[in-house]
Amino acid sequence: MLLENVSIRHFRCFTETGFVFKPGLNILFGPNGSGKTSVLEALFFTCLTRSFRTPRDVEAIQWKKENFTVKTTWNDYGDVTFSVVKNRGKKLLLNNVPVEKYSDWIGQLPVIILSPEDAELAMGAPQLKRQYFDRLFSQTSHDYLKALIRYTRLLKQKNAYLKFKNDKNSYTYDVQLETYEEQLAPLSWKIYTFRKDQFFILNEKLKNFFKYIDTRDIPVNIEYKPSVSGKSKEEYVENYLAESRKSIHSDIILKRSVKGAGYDRIDFTRKNESLKTGASQGEKKFWIVCLKLAEGEYFKTVTGKEPIFLFDDLLSELDISHAKNLLDYIGSLQQIIITSTDLSDIRRQGISLSPGSFNIIDI
């Protein structure tokens, strides 16, 4: 899966522009504010039909325009066109044929993004990490995505009912809640078991990258802490229902559930300490970059596909030895696009930018 080119119209700061990409390392080069991150965002829209910068698609439309269009060409898919029109929504075309269900498109063009917003991933709330890994796992399994969509929809309905009971000062377990729980429990089990299995694979990849890039052999881990667990589906469902009944009073007060797959916790550790409190900014950045590369290996193991990597501001906050080892590795990837404001940052790592060795795109 290789990206060949992209045409962008009325997107962010671009009125109309286009770029050609090659296998291996592609470097988007230009000053701050030139639109490097916007190019990555446009490509991300094509792959996942959403932005990594904003939950509102229309915010990416150029000022005073009514729509944007991103057209990409891939060596094994052909043309993929994504557009957003104000007050009319979005549209995805594969070789000029509309894609009706966006959920079926997720995972067709696997993508891994590294952006400045990922700093929040190391420091942020559990919900942020759950959403991050849900997005990752949804690209590798449609069954997981379907279960997650169904679970999220039911949980939203249940939480609305908890709010209703709170407004009525009713703090008892009833038939309506029992109906919700009996539907949510098996879905939560499915999500829990999938997450547990995938985190085992992902952790092995992550540890291998740290050993490869950092010779100090520092222990790292993604800790998955489910709010409910069980060795079998029957045991899990039984535990889920018991925990839900036990916490019903506090759930109604809070107007939301506190048990189940929607409330599992995930933590990043380094040297057996939480990354949130036990690492410098540079160490956090390096941890996250290794996670992204591990995800690439995870994709290949689970799906047989190598994703496209979009790395914004890769070298900031990294020391020279880590940066050089990373650049040595990413040169072997099938395709990666990174941004840079100063090519001398790359030259300082001992990497030659001789003609033909990299695809340098001047914005």
Q: Model confidence over 220-271: pLDDT tens digits?
A: 999 999 999 999 999 999 999 999 999 999 999 999 999 999 999 999 999 8
Mean pLDDT over 156-178 rounds to 95
Q: Which one is predicted more confidently, 325 or 99?
A: 99
Mean pLDDT over 13-26 rounds to 95
Confidence at residue 227, expressed as pLDDT on a 0 to 100 scale: 95
Sorted by sequence, the CB contacts under 8 Å of residue 86 that are 6+ apart come out as 58, 61, 66, 67
DSSP-derived 3-state class of residue 338: strand
pLDDT band at 324 (very low <50, low <70, confident <90, very high): confident
Sign of the alpha-carbon dihedral angle for 193, 195, 334, 76: positive
Domain 1-110+305-363: give its CATH architecture: 3-Layer(aba) Sandwich (3.40)
Percent of the chain with pLDDT over 90: 73
pLDDT band at 158 (very low <50, low <70, confident <90, very high): very high
pLDDT single digits (tens) 26-72: 999 999 999 999 999 999 999 999 999 999 999 999 999 999 999 99
Sorted by sequence, the CB contacts under 8 Å of residue 307 that are 6+ apart come out as 1, 110, 111, 112, 139, 295, 296, 299
* Other Cβ atoms within 10 Å of 151 Cβ, number: 20
Contact 362, 29 (CB under 8 A): yes
Q: In which region does residue 183 sit, left (phi positive, over 0), alpha (psi from -120 to 50) or beta (all else)?
A: alpha
Taking alpha carbons only, the member of 10, 3, 17 closest to residue 362 is: 17
Q: Give me the chain's average pLDDT, please.
A: 91
pLDDT single digits (tens) 99-140: 999 989 999 999 999 998 888 888 888 889 999 999 999 999
157 alpha-carbon distance from chain centroid: 26
Q: Where in the chain is the domain with CATH 1.20.1050.90?
A: 126-304
CA trace torsion 30, 33, 39, 41 (10° rounding) = 140
Contact 346, 314 (CB under 8 A): no
Confidence at residue 343, expressed as pLDDT on a 0 to 100 scale: 72
The pair of structure tokens assigned to 150 is 């169904």
Mean pLDDT over 330-335 rounds to 87
Give pTM, 2 decimals. 0.89
Is the predicted pLDDT of residue 323 greater than 70, yes or no? yes
Cα distance between residue 191 and residue 172, in whole Å: 28
Length of the chain: 363
CATH of 126-304, picked from 1.10.3720.10, 1.20.1050.90, 3.40.50.1980, 1.10.10.10, is 1.20.1050.90
Is the predicted pLDDT of residue 155 greater than 60, yes or no? yes
Structure-token match 């229309």, residue found = 58
Confidence at residue 134, expressed as pLDDT on a 0 to 100 scale: 95
Confidence at residue 355, expressed as pLDDT on a 0 to 100 scale: 56
Q: Which one is predicted more confidently, 67 or 216?
A: 67
The pair of structure tokens assigned to 182 is 């009996």
Phi, psi of 55 (to 5 degrees): -80, -10
Confidence at residue 126, expressed as pLDDT on a 0 to 100 scale: 85
Taking alpha carbons only, the member of 249, 243, 242, 251 closest to residue 172 is: 249
End-to-end CA distance of the chain: give it in Å, rounded. 24
Confidence at residue 354, expressed as pLDDT on a 0 to 100 scale: 58
pLDDT single digits (tens) 170-196: 999 999 999 999 999 999 999 999 999
Q: Where in the chain is the domain with CATH 3.40.50.300?
A: 1-110+305-363
Is the predicted pLDDT of residue 347 greater than 70, yes or no? no
According to DSSP H, which parts of 118-232 are helical? 119-123, 126-140, 142-167, 175-213
Is the predicted pLDDT of residue 321 greater than 80, yes or no? no
pLDDT band at 353 (very low <50, low <70, confident <90, very high): low
pLDDT band at 340 (very low <50, low <70, confident <90, very high): confident
Taking alpha carbons only, the member of 22, 62, 63, 19 closest to residue 40 is: 19
Cα distance between residue 79 and residue 212, in whole Å: 37
The pair of structure tokens assigned to 215 is 């010779």
CA trace torsion 313, 319, 323, 324 (10° rounding) = 150
Confidence at residue 352, expressed as pLDDT on a 0 to 100 scale: 58
The DSSP symbol for 264 reads: -
Mean pLDDT over 337-350 rounds to 75
Is the predicted pLDDT of residue 300 greater than 60, yes or no? yes
Cα distance between residue 241 and residue 184, in whole Å: 9
b/e for 218-246, b at 16 or more Cβ within 10 A?
Answer: eebebebebbbbbeeeeebbebbbebbee
